[in-house]
């Protein structure tokens, strides 16, 4: 009987089965969506850029506690096997990237890409959405929570300082030196982004110095006791 079905290209796993009094039809394999296709292509691209063969990648995944066989990895790259969320995180760790890098293109241009079969966005907006910076514009009447950035960036919550508060500080002269320093930096050739990065670096260094001081004080107290 089974051979007769196979003759017509029907495999045993595709045949319906009888459970009790019910005829259970097999699930039809879901077609890959745009995100699955990008993950497959990006995984292959990153693997080759790191001079890894499938065996190397499989070994890394096994060491991470999420083993995926060589044939399964090959099927992923060929678009014949879907990647679940556990696989996605493990692949990102094995390839040394964030999960978003597997889900989105390497560029952030104005080129439109599909996110689902019915939702599209330009690359730049897709990256900002994935990183929790702002929600995607919607034209279907769906309302997005105004606290999107706060909900999606717990590591970097948005600044809640009001513009009126900044104006008061500016009028009082409290930020005069900051404004003049910014203008001097721009005139010297720094970009606005490099200025922000420098301020972030100063903040990080100040935090590290505060932690070191705390450790020194704690060590002194331990010696005293």
Of 151, 159, 148, the closest CA to residue 203 belongs to 159
Tens-digit pLDDT profile for residues 171-203 = 888 888 888 898 999 999 999 989 888 888 888
User: What is the pLDDT, as a whole number, of residue 16?
Assistant: 53
Least confident among 52-66, 116-130, 159-173, 185-199:
159-173
Compute the distance between CA of residue 180 and CA of residue 162 in angstroms, rounded to an integer.
21
Statement: residue 134 has pLDDT above 70: yes
Q: Are the C-beta atoms of 123 and 104 separated by less than 8 Å?
A: yes
Tens-digit pLDDT profile for residues 11-35 = 444 455 555 555 555 556 667 899 9
Task: Give the CATH H-level superfamily of domain 34-103.
Answer: lambda repressor-like DNA-binding domains (1.10.260.40)
Sign of the CA dihedral 138, 139, 140, 146? Answer: positive
Q: Residue 169: CA atoms inside 13 Å, Cβ hemisphere, count? A: 12
- Record the pTM: 0.69
User: What is the pLDDT, as a whole number, of residue 10?
Assistant: 43
Tens-digit pLDDT profile for residues 199-218 = 888 888 988 888 888 888 87
Tens-digit pLDDT profile for residues 111-125 = 999 999 999 999 999
Share of the chain above pLDDT 90, in %: 49
Q: Nearest 5°: phi and psi at 30?
A: -75, 140
Statement: residue 9 has pLDDT above 50: no
Of 93, 130, 104, the closest CA to residue 34 belongs to 104
Statement: residue 75 has pLDDT above 90: yes
What ranges do the domains of the chain cover?
A: 34-103, 112-152, 163-224
Least confident among 99-108, 143-152, 160-169, 191-200:
143-152
User: What is the pLDDT, as a whole number, of residue 222?
Assistant: 47
Of 39, 43, 91, the closest CA to residue 65 belongs to 91
Compute the distance between CA of residue 158 and CA of residue 148 in angstroms, rounded to an integer.
10
């Amino acid at each position: 009987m089974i051979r007769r079905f196979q003759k017509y290209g029907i495999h045993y796993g595709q045949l319906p089965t009888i459970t009790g009094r019910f005829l259970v039809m097999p699930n039809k394999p879901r077609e890959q969506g745009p995100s699955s296709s990008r993950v497959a292509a990006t995984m292959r691209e990153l693997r080759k850029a790191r001079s890894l063969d499938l065996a190397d990648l499989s070994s890394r995944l096994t060491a991470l506690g999420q083993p995926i066989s060589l044939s399964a990895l090959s099927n992923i790259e060929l678009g014949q096997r879907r990647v679940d969320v556990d696989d996605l995180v493990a692949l990102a760790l094995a390839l040394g990237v964030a999960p978003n890098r597997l889900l989105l293109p390497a560029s952030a241009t104005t080129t439109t890409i599909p996110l689902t079969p019915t939702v599209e966005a330009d690359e730049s907006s897709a990256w900002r959405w994935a990183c929790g910076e702002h929600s995607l514009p919607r034209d279907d009447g769906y309302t997005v929570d105004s606290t999107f950035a706060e909900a999606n960036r717990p590591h970097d919550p948005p600044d809640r300082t009001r513009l009126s508060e900044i104006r008061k500080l500016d009028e009082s002269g409290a930020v005069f030196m900051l404004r003049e320093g910014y203008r001097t930096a721009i005139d010297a050739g720094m970009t606005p982004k490099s200025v922000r990065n420098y301020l972030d670096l100063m903040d990080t260094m100040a935090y590290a110095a505060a932690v070191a001081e705390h450790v020194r004080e704690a060590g002194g107290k331990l010696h005293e006791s």
